[in-house]
């Protein structure tokens, strides 16, 4: 599943290619007949918020895309490729094309529906000038574990399973600590770290969350076993303290943590 930074990366690339252009749009798989409403229209803008994308075609025609767990874009230069697989949406100009397969949503929103969606979502650390306080207020008012809260898109937008695990590790916070026991200073540090880590992730296609000094090979590029502190490292020694990394299911997603570096005050 793409995390928010990958969604922002798609936005930036597609914006550079398609904004201000009249596009052809169709749905070769037939799963998105409303593609016809967009055909021939000019794309005016693209917004990324967390894991949601909104393509503004004017006249209250907003194409909403959520990639979900399996969605992906492919792009290329004209001519169009022969349609393969379940090609939900294809957009093209005279010079470029874009294909969308497997999204959890691809549908037309009007402005009201889009605004309602935005109102439901928490602030996105990757958005310039976004305010972390609404997210903190939700966290501070909740007894739920912080690991659940920071992946809840109505609290913060854009954090998925990799960043959840790695941000909590870097903050040395137990994933089981209740939101109400996180103070503003600790939360602001996580927010700042999320901004930095996720922005770096947009430049390098690989998500790297380890600091060079903590890697077995601190010089040069991170090797494959040392790009993350805890994510998918269950049973392996913590890069910092050597304790075996643990994993457990939480709300349908696997959580990873170091039981020594990330103790909560209750001693879990
Ligand atoms: Zn450790």
**CATH number for the domain including 116?**
3.20.190.10
In a domain, 127, yes or no: no
Q: Active-site residue 51, yes or no?
A: yes
Give the distance (Å) from ligand 1 centre to CA of residue 244.
8
DSSP state of 101: E
Give the distance (Å) from ligand 1 centre to CA of residue 172.
9
Whether 139 and 252 map to the same domain: the answer is: yes
pTM for this entry: 0.88
DSSP state of 144: S
80-134 pLDDT, tens digit per residue, is 989 999 999 999 999 999 999 999 999 999 999 999 999 999 999 999 899 999 9
List 11, 51, 90, 170, catalytic entry: 51
Peptide bond into 79 cis (omega under 30): yes
pLDDT confidence of residue 73? 97
Would you call 118 helix, strand, or coil by DSSP?
A: helix
**Residue 92's beta-bridge partner residues?**
24, 97
Could you write out the DSSP letters of every residue in 43-68?
P-EEEEETTEEEEE-STT-EEEEE-T
Would you call 201 helix, strand, or coil by DSSP?
A: helix
In a domain, 8, yes or no: yes
161-170 and 184-203 helices, crossing angle to 10°: 130
Average pLDDT over every residue of 57-70: 95
Query: What is the domain count for the chain?
Result: 2
Q: Active-site residue 113, yes or no?
A: no
Which structural domain, as residue segments, surrounds residue 58?
A: 4-120
Q: Active-site residue 253, yes or no?
A: yes
Spell out where 130-252 has E strands.
246-250
Which of 120, 141, 176 is the endpoint of a domain? 120
Q: In angstroms, rounded to a whole number, what is the distance separating the alpha carbons of residues 213 and 229?
A: 12
Q: Which two tokens stand for residue 118?
A: 């935005």
CB 121 within 8 A of CB 154: yes
Distinct helix (H) and strand (E) counts, the chain: 7, 10
Mean pLDDT over the full length of the chain: 94
Whether 62 and 165 map to the same domain: the answer is: no
pLDDT confidence of residue 202? 57
Would you call 16 helix, strand, or coil by DSSP?
A: helix
Q: Active-site residue 123, yes or no?
A: no
Q: In angstroms, rounded to a whole number, what is the distance separating the alpha carbons of residues 268 and 260?
A: 9
177-231 pLDDT, tens digit per residue, is 999 999 999 999 999 999 998 887 656 667 889 999 999 999 888 888 899 999 9
Give the distance (Å) from ligand 1 centre to CA of residue 246.
10
């Amino acid at each position: 599943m793409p995390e928010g930074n990958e969604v922002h990366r798609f936005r930036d690339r597609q914006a550079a290619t398609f904004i201000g252009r009249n596009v052809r749009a169709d749905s070769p798989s037939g799963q998105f007949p409303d593609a016809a409403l967009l055909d021939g229209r000019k794309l005016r803008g693209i917004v990324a918020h967390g894991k949601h994308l909104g393509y503004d075609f004017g006249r209250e025609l907003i194409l909403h895309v959520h990639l979900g767990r399996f969605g992906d874009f492919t792009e290329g230069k004209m001519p169009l490729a022969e349609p393969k697989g379940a090609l939900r949406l294809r957009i093209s100009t005279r010079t470029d094309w874009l294909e969308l397969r497997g999204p959890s949503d691809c549908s037309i929103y009007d402005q009201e529906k889009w605004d309602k969606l935005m109102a439901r979502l928490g602030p996105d650390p990757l958005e310039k000038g976004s305010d972390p306080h609404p997210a903190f207020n939700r966290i501070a008012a909740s007894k739920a574990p912080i690991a659940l809260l920071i992946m809840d898109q109505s609290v913060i937008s854009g954090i998925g399973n990799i960043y959840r695990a790695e941000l909590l590790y870097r903050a040395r916070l137990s994933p089981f600590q209740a939101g109400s026991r996180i103070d503003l200073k600790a939360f602001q540090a996580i927010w700042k770290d999320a901004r930095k880590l996720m922005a770096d992730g947009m430049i390098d296609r690989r998500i790297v969350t380890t600091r060079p000094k903590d890697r077995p090979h601190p010089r040069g590029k991170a090797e494959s076993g040392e790009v993350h502190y805890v994510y998918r490292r269950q049973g392996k020694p913590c890069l910092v303290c050597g304790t075996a990394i643990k994993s457990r299911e939480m709300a349908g997603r696997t959580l990873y943590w170091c039981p020594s570096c990330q103790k909560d005050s209750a001693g879990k």
